[in-house]
A and B are shown apart, each in its own frame.
Chain A
């Protein structure tokens, strides 16, 4: 899977209340509606700026806080193709794998707002086209690759009825 898009850059410790704020998070299961408020407290213009396929790029501990899956689902429904960060909070990480939002863990110091990125998930490589550099990506463990390649945990369970990593 090849992903291409522009960077929207954030800092460290972007928590789930920033991703989808307290005012909206438990109101509805309509994720298209929730997506309009993604990152609202950090950047009120965020949703209107995003073009399909763009990336969220951040520092360390992205997604810390709540276990709400509304966070990755709202990001997916805002048409973000993947989140790139130095590190992720663990529940958010699981939720992304389970809902099928690709995560890329790598050094993000050399990625700036507006840069053009290209990611080859199979090869595990990230290219920063604006800077002409290639950045090494931490590979995903097999269990997570299996769930992602099945299309998320719902599809995995539809296929096998339970966990199947053999």
Chain B
């Protein structure tokens, strides 16, 4: 009987021939923690009476959620992370370096076939480059730091077959919002998602990250894609590590298979207060918008900034706009290409590379009754730090179109 990508990677890393629903202890290739989760992990590490991490070369810690620190208490937690990383000799990314999920692939830490955990729910992002990566909590992170291992239930797999090519003005963000709206917020709970088909093949690797990033929003443990030539080229540009890509067998067993034709898909928007409350743009166009956000681990990459800038160029925003590039490298590239100048001239506020206002700790907390449209992955009530605000989610193009109009707008009106 054939195997899915998840079954193959967990078989290799556990040294056993495993199938869905088996429970294994598997060896980890890389481990990540951010500033919202690492302090509790360091506390657990100490309580577990450990002295050294298993391998400093396979661990990174990132300050991105509250960067730079907005509060005294947070500064103290950041300092604990800096001390721990320094003592243990682990790779450390400080304020301004970027969002963890941009940094791990960009800096070459993760490569196809790897098994990776991160203490952040959007760790599933690297599935786009054929990595079985999944989010865990702080105690799991501590156990990983000590032993280099973690227990996993081998997930069943939900296969999404995506046919056709996305039309102009419609992006990978619209595609994943559409899938989440269709299968709902718990449509893939306890499962791995596998995304296949010509629609995926037609996307750049950067655009694919957006799709894998949001696998968790349908409850999935991982959001996997096979490695094609584009993946191999991208990974070799970013990493010197050797790797072995993993393909699903033709006779692999899937818990569910759904097929979609994306060639007539319209821009999609998730309405407050759940990610699966998705509508085509026509149903929400005209909704007044007070603040737009472009950035985050979902859509803060250079391609996203290029798309937004192409719409904002020579125009002024009617709503406030916050732009948070996803890493220092992305921001530097955006400066070189003149994109930051376009944002600033349009009236945007450009903030430090990092999670920006997405997690509600700083950098743009909305006020009571305000509507925000964001390229982020979550619109939960209170997510951005005010439970009396309303968050809509869309592509960078939809956010750019909306802040120009001062209301939710269709980016296809701005295609040049």
Contacts and interface: CB of A to CB of B under 8 A. Distances in A.
Q: Do A and B come from one complex?
A: yes
Interface of A: 13, 15, 17-18, 21-23, 25-29, 41, 60-61, 64-70, 72-73, 87, 89-91, 94-95, 98-99, 141-143, 152-154, 157-158, 161-163, 165
B268 interface: no
Given A66-B121, A90-B189, A157-B50, A22 B359 contact: yes
Contacts of A161: 146
Given A13-B274, A143-B23, A154 B186 contact: no
Interface in B213-238: 216, 219, 221
Given A90-B219, A141-B23, A18 B380 contact: yes
B74 A26 contact: yes
A15 B380 contact: yes
Nearest to A15: B380
Nearest to B36: A26
B380 A163 contact: no
Interface of B: 23, 25, 35-37, 39-40, 43-44, 47-50, 65-66, 71, 73-74, 77, 119-121, 123, 135-140, 142-143, 146-147, 149-151, 153, 185-186, 189-190, 216, 219, 221, 274, 359-361, 378, 380-387
B382 to A, nearest CB: 5
A71 to B, nearest CB: 9
20 contacts: A17-B380, A22-B359, A23-B386, A26-B77, A60-B186, A61-B189, A64-B185, A64-B219, A66-B121, A67-B123, A69-B139, A72-B137, A73-B40, A91-B135, A98-B139, A141-B153, A153-B44, A157-B48, A163-B25, A163-B147
A28 B146 CA distance: 24
Contacts of A64: 185-186, 219
A65 B216 CA distance: 8
A72 B140 CA distance: 14
A12 to B, nearest CB: 8
Given A22-B359, A26-B74, A141-B23, A95 B147 contact: no
Contacts of A90: 189-190, 219, 221
Given A61-B219, A165-B151, A22 B37 contact: no
Contact of A67 (B136, B150, B151, B380): B136
B139 A143 contact: no
Contacts of B221: 90
A41 B387 contact: yes
A17 B140 contact: no
B135 A68 contact: no
B29 to A, nearest CB: 17
B74 A61 contact: no
A73 B66 CA distance: 21
A72 B137 CA distance: 10
B382 A41 contact: yes
A26 B380 contact: no
A162 B149 contact: yes
Contacts of B39: 29
A21 B137 contact: no
Given A64-B219, A91-B121, A95-B139, A69 B37 contact: yes
A56 B300 CA distance: 37
A161 B146 CA distance: 8
Contacts of A13: 185-186, 274
A101 to B, nearest CB: 11
Contact of A89 (B150, B151, B189, B380): B189
B127 to A, nearest CB: 15
B49 A91 contact: no
A77 B186 CA distance: 27
Nearest to A88: B189
A25 B47 contact: no
Nearest to A162: B147
A122 B136 CA distance: 26
A165 B40 contact: no
B189 A87 contact: yes
B136 A65 contact: no
Contacts of A65: 121, 378, 380
Contacts of B138: 68-69
Given A15-B380, A18-B382, A69 B149 contact: no
